[in-house]
């Protein structure tokens, strides 16, 4: 599954870079999660962080570990979108 974490950033570009480095460090420590980078979406959001995970639980583990280590995310508004393949949600082939 793919996880798109959209954020509306209110800090400096340096603070965004530090935030992304913290997120990448956390996701690198979770098995079966691959942090794919930060992208500029064509929407009202400032940035979107992209992950690939083997399950919802693995993706959620990244968020939990981040909060345990760093506290709440520093952006006031965000949105998570999960993209499953049809096979991942149980549709027959």
Topology, domain 2-83: Alpha-Beta Plaits (3.30.70)
Tens-digit pLDDT string for the chain (93 aa):
999 999 998 889 999 999 999 999 999 999 999 999 999 999 999 999 999 999 999 999 999 999 999 988 787 778 999 999 898 888 887
**In this structure, are residues 19 and 65 in contact, taking their beta carbons and an 8 Å threshold?**
no
pTM: 0.87
- 14: helix, strand or coil: helix
Report the C-alpha gap between 41 and 34 in whole angstroms.
19
**In this structure, are residues 6 and 43 in contact, taking their beta carbons and an 8 Å threshold?**
yes
């Amino acid at each position: 599954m793919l996880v798109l974490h959209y954020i509306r950033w209110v800090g400096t570009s340096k603070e965004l870079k530090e935030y992304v480095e913290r997120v990448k460090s956390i996701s690198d420590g979770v098995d079966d999660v691959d942090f794919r980078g930060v992208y500029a979406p064509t929407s009202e959001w400032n940035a979107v962080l992209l992950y690939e995970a083997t399950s919802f639980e693995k993706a959620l583990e990244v968020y939990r570990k981040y909060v345990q280590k760093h506290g709440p995310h520093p952006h006031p508004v965000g949105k998570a979108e999960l993209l499953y393949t049809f096979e991942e949600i149980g549709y027959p082939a």
